[in-house]
Amino acid sequence: MNLQDRYDECTDRVAAIDNVLSLLPRSPSAVGVLTALGTLEDLARTWTGDHLLRPGGSPDSVQRSAESYEDVAEELDAQATALEGRASDVEAGLDAAAGRTAATRVRAFIGLAGLEARGIRVIADALKAYADELDDGQSRFDRHAAGMRSARGDAFTVSAPPADWDDSHCAATMIALHNVYDEARAALIACRDALGTVIEAERRLRFAFTDASGYARLCGLPTSRTVNIVDGILALADGIGDPDRAVVSHDEWVAYLAARDELSEAERKRLDAALDTAEAPDERQIIIAALATGAGLALTLALALKLRTMTQKQIQAVAGLGLPEITNEDAAEWSSLTTPDGTVVTQMTNTTCGSSSLLMLAAQRDPFLALLIAEGEFVDGYVPDYVSDVTLIDRLPEAGLTSAERLRFLQEEIRIQTNKFTLWPGTWLGSAPWGYGDEVSRILDADVDLEYSLIGPDSDAQALIGRAITAVDSGTPVPFLVGDDTGVPRHYVLLVGHNGDELQFYEPWEGEVRTVPIDEAASGAPQGAYGWWKSIYGAAVPAD
């Protein structure tokens, strides 16, 4: 019997007591009292079993494991410090250009060590928290399980009324019965709550390990015949603070390697020259993401040249409409996403929450699209694949639209595209869920499971959240469909990050990245991260 089974068993035992209490006579006869005593003894025989076994595990052992992880993280920090010294020595010992190049390569490993240390500390902190909660849960469970055993013993010591009983004897016996039931009920609820503490602690620990896997994803970089580990570290590890919002996801990196391997030696040299002359990590990652789209080397190099003429804010927009620059602290403060001219990237009509989330998702994987959304520009006339079917899209750069007008146009067109074959009244109801799933699959170039309900909130929203966390920790944002509890889905939001106990959503109504604690995400209470809707109706998660 696992912890959840034991939790459920305690709940059933409490329900059984409540049922008996509701049936006890208020003015019992002697026969009624004797019947109630028999029922108490029968029920008390069920107040034992596996559900009253303490949760397993040793808090001390878990704490020691946490300390071991922390020691490894400190060792990585020490290695990073030593590498920085070596980088400085190399830079000073060689001529200017060679010294900078060599130092850059050494410092790339500092970024890798930093990523590993952060991932390991995520695990260490989670283990420490789990040890504390396990210790608390076990202590409370032991205390209240003893109370349960006491109540069970008391159940067999309640005396029947004497032969010459009267109403006062019956009343006294019934009071004693009630006291035993109350004692048992309180102990069972307390045992169940202690089990719930440990169950929740285990769930948080699992989520922490998936959070750490995001760092591991960037540390375990795949290579190819034309890319060694140093190149990979230079491309991805350097400059990334939160792997959930790295400019290049694992899938994009794999696509980049495949596209790079198809280039001739001369073409690879041109690509490497563009990467080497990039002035910041996000510029290198934009170049990699561009080649990963399949647009080809010429367009990738043209975008690289364009980056050199841009401000840092413009570059951040091309890196995913600024989303990769939102830190965990920013998300906690509900930070707005804006185009370089200050326009908030929000849904521009009441029915474009779905299409604005789709555009945000697509822009994370296509810097050409991010450039179009943020600046209204193409690179050498290239139309990004996701908007290639939009009416008059080739004329958009010369239309003279403001950023807000451009956002509205694209959102409306994507809404129409989403509903094209659905017979869904999008003008009034926005994006059809089944059409939306097809759009997500198209963006990710992979199958997705869009589990949704049009008749009420998802009955297993917590499991859906778990799958979504796994996806976002592997670098793939996940759209959610939310609403109220009346059976009507009303709004789309985009899960863009997971940090510890919190989820981070792009909420298109306000154009902000907002946080919600994991344990409140499926609570049924209004959430700012959901645009103040409260129930989850579905999510488009990558298929297993």
Class of domain 1-220: mainly alpha
Query: Domains of the chain: which residue ranges?
Result: 1-220, 222-309, 328-542
Confidence of residue 81 (pLDDT cuts 50, 70, 90): confident
pLDDT digits (tens, 9 = 90+) for 11-24: 999 999 999 888 88
The pLDDT value recorded for residue 241 is 62
pLDDT digits (tens, 9 = 90+) for 305-314: 999 999 988 9
The number of CA neighbours under 13 Å toward the Cβ of 276 is 14
pLDDT at residue 217 above 70?
A: no
Neighbours of 408 (CB within 10 A): 17
Contact assessment for residue 521 and residue 537, using Cβ atoms and an 8 Å cutoff: no
Per DSSP, the residues of 275-289 read HHH-SSHHHHHHHHH
pLDDT at residue 454 above 60?
A: no
Mean pLDDT to the nearest integer, 440-469? 75
pLDDT digits (tens, 9 = 90+) for 486-526: 777 889 999 998 888 889 999 999 999 999 999 898 888 88
Q: Please state, for a pLDDT cut of 70, what percent of the chain lies above it.
A: 90
Confidence of residue 458 (pLDDT cuts 50, 70, 90): low
Starting from the edge strand earliest in sequence, which strands make up the sheet with 448-452, in order? 335-336, 512-517, 502-507, 489-499, 478-483, 535-542, 448-452
Mean pLDDT to the nearest integer, 447-467? 71
CA 460 – CA 452 distance, rounded (Å): 11
The pLDDT value recorded for residue 243 is 66
Is residue 383 classed exposed, middle or buried when 0-12, 13-18 and 19+ CB atoms within 10 A define those classes?
A: middle
Give me the residue label for tokens 């990196």: 253
Q: φ, ψ for residue 400 (rounded to 5)?
A: 70, 30
List Cβ neighbours of 375 (8 Å cut-off, separation of 6 or more): 314, 317, 339, 340
The pLDDT value recorded for residue 237 is 62
Q: Which two tokens stand for residue 241?
A: 């603070």
DSSP state of 309: T
CA 519 – CA 502 distance, rounded (Å): 8
List, as own/partner pairs, every contact residues 271-279 make where C-beta atoms lie below 8 angstroms and the sequence separation is at least 24, other chains included. 271/297, 271/300, 271/301, 274/300, 274/301, 274/304, 275/234, 275/235, 276/101, 277/308, 278/304, 278/307, 279/308
CA 311 – CA 316 distance, rounded (Å): 9
pLDDT digits (tens, 9 = 90+) for 110-124: 777 877 888 888 889
Class of domain 328-542: alpha beta
Mean pLDDT to the nearest integer, 390-407? 91
Provide the H-helix boundaries in 156-236. 167-219, 229-232
- List the beta bridge partners of residue 475: none
Contact assessment for residue 451 and residue 457, using Cβ atoms and an 8 Å cutoff: no
CA 544 – CA 533 distance, rounded (Å): 28
Q: Which two tokens stand for residue 491?
A: 């709004």
Q: Which two tokens stand for residue 355?
A: 């299409």
List Cβ neighbours of 340 (8 Å cut-off, separation of 6 or more): 311, 313, 314, 317, 374, 375
Mean pLDDT to the nearest integer, 210-233? 73
Averaged pLDDT of the chain: 85
Q: Can you tell me whether residue 109 is helix, strand or coil?
A: helix
DSSP state of 259: H
The pLDDT value recorded for residue 455 is 47
Q: Which amino acid is at 21?
A: L
pLDDT at residue 456 above 80?
A: no
The pLDDT value recorded for residue 495 is 93
Residues 473, 475, 481: CA angle, nearest 5 degrees: 80
Confidence of residue 453 (pLDDT cuts 50, 70, 90): low
Residues 327, 341, 359: CA angle, nearest 5 degrees: 65
Confidence of residue 357 (pLDDT cuts 50, 70, 90): very high
The pLDDT value recorded for residue 100 is 72
Q: Which two tokens stand for residue 524?
A: 């049924």
DSSP state of 454: S
Give me the residue label for tokens 């001739």: 264
Mean pLDDT to the nearest integer, 450-456? 57
List Cβ neighbours of 439 (8 Å cut-off, separation of 6 or more): 358, 414, 417, 418, 431
* Best CA proximity match to 232, nearest among 111, 122, 137: 111
Distances (CA, A) of 217 to 22, 243, 246, 249, 473: 56, 8, 11, 9, 9
Q: Which amino acid is at 348?
A: M
pLDDT at residue 263 above 90?
A: yes
The pLDDT value recorded for residue 84 is 81
List Cβ neighbours of 49 (8 Å cut-off, separation of 6 or more): 9
DSSP state of 341: T
Beta strands in 411-511 (DSSP E): 448-452, 478-483, 489-499, 502-507
Neighbours of 415 (CB within 10 A): 27
Residues in the chain: 544
pLDDT at residue 425 above 60?
A: no
Q: Which amino acid is at 187?
A: A
